[in-house]
Structure 1
Amino acid sequence: MRSVTITVDRSALRHNLAQVRAMAPDCQIFAIIKADAYGHGAVACAKALSTSDGLGVVVPGEAIALRTAGIQMPILVIQGPRTATDITICAQYDCQVGIHAWHQLDLLEQHATTLTRDLSVWIKLDTGMGRLGFFPEDLPRVQQRLNALTTVNVIGCMTHFSCADEPDNTHTSQQIARFNQTVPTPAKTRSLANSAAVIGWPEARVGWVRPGIMLYGSNPLASSHPLALKPVMHVTAPLIAVRDLKAGDTVGYGNTWRCTQAQRIGVVAIGYGDGYPRHIAAETPVMVGDQRCRILGRVSMDSLVIDVSQLAVEPRIGDAVTLWGPGLSVDEVASCAGTISYELLCQIRF
């Protein structure tokens, strides 16, 4: 068993959901818990998020795991079915599905008559993400084909934003306008807003919003739209050695850190084998107690080295070192790694 400890604060999760509710009081909420709830544990997070109006996942297997665990809330499978079996399973487990491509329509037409219960569908439109979705001009033909299927119930239309985390980028406004021109109000239920759009684009707060990363305490618009979000994940690992080095000594692979003076170091039992990024910048902060320390040299597979010279309290073997959590945001650490919080949260493991 590895030495990393990951603690998930469910009260913080509920607090962040309340922030979404306050920002979008007239909307229903699909709480997005794909990718094992961004690494936080899908079933536990689903239970903590029971006051949301539904849950969002990506593939049918994620939805089945929730249903098997007794989760009865509406579940949206965003990428929808890939096979005929997926169609049957989603209907059987009472899941809503996204339909974004012609081959999915073909599958539905081929197998809709075999369903023993209706399948609820969202039509996904590509308004400028350039990833998944029908082009807006194809919507009438898509609706016509779906409406012909007696076991398929079309709930509404959805889209996804490519630049909502860039408040000065006009592309999001163009996507919203394109969606509004295509989907008349109130003819269809709508779903546009991800976390960044919930925070920064009030005109996208309609119908069903789909917050993801903000539920876990990360704000994709922190510099321009500060929020009182709470960190949900706290990652710690133990201090396993404390050593005194002299001027000229080097630390780690490649001797990339050289002591310019006598220095006390600590070795922490976490590395890239645990999902902590190898390429993170030297001098990235960690915390020992309530004090910040810096990483020295390269991250190894099973360990990393920190500077404990300035600690007010003598470090002890077994002390918990915080990699991110209260007092040290995952967004700050992600910036030091040249990535985004989503990646760190999803790849860390114990």
Structure 2
Amino acid sequence: MNRPILASISTEAFRHNLTRVRELAPESKIWSVIKARSYGHGFEAAFKGLEATDGFALLDIEDARWLRENGWKGRILLLEGLFHPAEVANAEDLACDLVVHCDSQIEWLENYQSQSHKRFSIFLKMNTGMNRLGFNPDKYRIAFHRLHALGHQMHHMTHFANADQVNQLPTVGQQLECFEATIADLTAPTSMANSAAILWHRTVLGDWVRPGIMLYGASPTGSYKDIEHANLQPVMRLQSEIIDIQELKKGDRVGYGGRYQAPESMRVGVIACGYADGYPRQAPDGTPVWVEGGAFDGAGVVCPLVGRVSMDMLTIDLRQAPQAKIGSRVELWGTQVPVDDVAQMSGTIGYELICALAPRVAVEIK
């Protein structure tokens, strides 16, 4: 029998979250962002659950090839464009849209001799304050004209650095003002909004939105309370089982380093999940774990983690779950315990946890 840890991926939750994006951005087309193996959820599940999208956005051209080989006929956007001039022909063969963010990428397109004389759909990226990828405003218009002269279909693109932090400078408004001033009289569709902008800045959506984390049911800010009323559904549910129960006396310690000391006689459940599965080693005592069979109605209860997370196991306080036994199911994150809550207590964000799901964890697509 396999080790009991399992990640369940809900394609219905994917569909629900995509519908929410359409409700929030009804005038925009949608690039569903599936980089990093669909944020750790796998391409197969995302392809099935997000098939109603207008296009998929990703990083690796081989992932674009996977989509084509599995029947996707729609648009594919390479979010970081090309990494080498030899990839231009591959991108043409796979009918990819390209983000262009630097002079080298323009030169590769200028030097490329297409056999089919096809032209790319280009999303030219402007650096409006993120200071990551993109042309600075004073160089953007020249880049636009170089690509337009080649006959490519042009789009304007930028990325908001602080859409989830409205009071932090530079604000979304400042970035938008810079963007709009720079593209004045350069008529082309726009792509600006990430998940945070879709949720909280719906006056800056543009013609194409680029939802990422919200499609997976987690928060752009890293805090679940910020999306609690956004009507999103978690797509990944990480589950396991209690594989042993220890009876502790007052003063007994738990785990490596004895971080937790029992305040009284108590039961501690040992769960088949550790940092080698993608659970955060830095999770502190008190991190929530849901256990079936609670103290009151038997439907389940949240119990606190106690002791240091080890490679293959973690331990929880069962005082609120007297009915729990070996074989009782637990949820590490998902529908009962938001992944953002686990991440926030562990000093990180939900993005990192779902992206870090280990290959050894079995995955079930529902």
TM-score range, shorter chain: over 0.9
Q: Which residue is equivalent to 1:161? A: 160
Distance 1:224 1:292, change over 3 A: closer
Do the aligned residues in 2 keep the contact of 1:43 with 1:69 (CA within 8 Å)?
A: no
The residue type paired with residue 86 of structure 1 is E
Q: Which residue is equivalent to 1:319? A: 328
The residue type paired with residue 204 of structure 1 is V
- Aligned equivalents of 1:236, 1:113: Cα separation in 2: 50
The residue type paired with residue 340 of structure 2 is D
Q: Which residue is equivalent to 2:27? A: 26
Question: Which stretch has the larger CA shift, 175-184 or 162-171?
Answer: 162-171
Q: Which residue is equivalent to 2:262? A: 259
Q: Which residue is equivalent to 2:356? A: 347
**CA displacement, residues 304-323 of structure 1 (integer Å, 9 cap, x when unaligned):** 001112215x2222222100
**CA displacement, residues 307-347 of structure 1 (integer Å, 9 cap, x when unaligned):** 112215x2222222100011211111110111111000100
Q: Are 1:302 and 2:312 matched, yes or no? A: yes
**CA displacement, residues 79-117 of structure 1 (integer Å, 9 cap, x when unaligned):** 001112211111100010100011111111222445653
Question: Which stretch has the larger CA shift, 55-64 or 21-30?
Answer: 55-64
Corresponding residue SS for 2:203: helix
TM-score by structure 1 length?
Answer: 0.95
Corresponding residue SS for 2:284: coil
Distance 1:338 1:112, change over 3 A: farther
> Which runs of structure 2 are paired with 1:215-254 in the superposition (5 Å)?
215-220=215-220, 223=225, 226-254=229-257
CA shift at 1:187, angstroms?
1.0
Q: Which residue is equivalent to 2:53? A: 52
The residue type paired with residue 97 of structure 1 is L
- Aligned equivalents of 2:207, 2:303: Cα separation in 1: 45
The residue type paired with residue 124 of structure 1 is K
The residue type paired with residue 14 of structure 1 is R
- Aligned equivalents of 2:349, 2:38: Cα separation in 1: 16
Do the aligned residues in 1 keep the contact of 2:100 with 2:106 (CA within 8 Å)?
A: yes
Corresponding residue SS for 1:84: coil
Corresponding residue SS for 1:261: coil
> Which runs of structure 2 are paired with 1:175-186 in the superposition (5 Å)?
175-184=175-184
Corresponding residue SS for 2:67: helix
Q: Which residue is equivalent to 2:277? A: 274
- Aligned equivalents of 1:78, 1:280: Cα separation in 2: 32
**CA displacement, residues 14-61 of structure 1 (integer Å, 9 cap, x when unaligned):** 111111111111111111111111111123212211211111102212
Corresponding residue SS for 2:142: helix
Do the aligned residues in 2 keep the contact of 1:34 with 1:42 (CA within 8 Å)?
A: no
**CA displacement, residues 123-167 of structure 1 (integer Å, 9 cap, x when unaligned):** 0111110000011121221122212325xx233011111111112
Do the aligned residues in 2 keep the contact of 1:157 with 1:189 (CA within 8 Å)?
A: yes
TM-score by structure 2 length?
Answer: 0.91
Distance 1:45 1:287, change over 3 A: same
- Listed as ranges, the gaps of 5+ residues in structure 2 are 293-299, 362-366
The residue type paired with residue 351 of structure 2 is Y
The residue type paired with residue 281 of structure 1 is P
CA RMSD of aligned residues (A): 1.6
- Aligned equivalents of 1:33, 1:14: Cα separation in 2: 14
- Aligned equivalents of 2:301, 2:113: Cα separation in 1: 60
Corresponding residue SS for 2:241: strand
- Aligned equivalents of 2:163, 2:209: Cα separation in 1: 13
> Which runs of structure 2 are paired with 1:8-23 in the superposition (5 Å)?
8-23=9-24
- Listed as ranges, the gaps of 5+ residues in structure 1 are none
- Aligned equivalents of 1:2, 1:38: Cα separation in 2: 23
State how many pairs are aligned. Answer: 347
- Aligned equivalents of 2:183, 2:113: Cα separation in 1: 25
Q: Which residue is equivalent to 1:328? A: 337
- Aligned equivalents of 1:93, 1:286: Cα separation in 2: 44
The residue type paired with residue 79 of structure 1 is E
Do the aligned residues in 2 keep the contact of 1:219 with 1:229 (CA within 8 Å)?
A: no
- Aligned equivalents of 1:119, 1:25: Cα separation in 2: 26
Q: Are 1:87 and 2:109 matched, yes or no? A: no
Aligned residues: percent identity?
38
The residue type paired with residue 95 of structure 2 is D
Question: Which stretch has the larger CA shift, 115-124 or 200-209?
Answer: 115-124
Distance 1:186 1:103, change over 3 A: closer
Distance 1:83 1:114, change over 3 A: farther
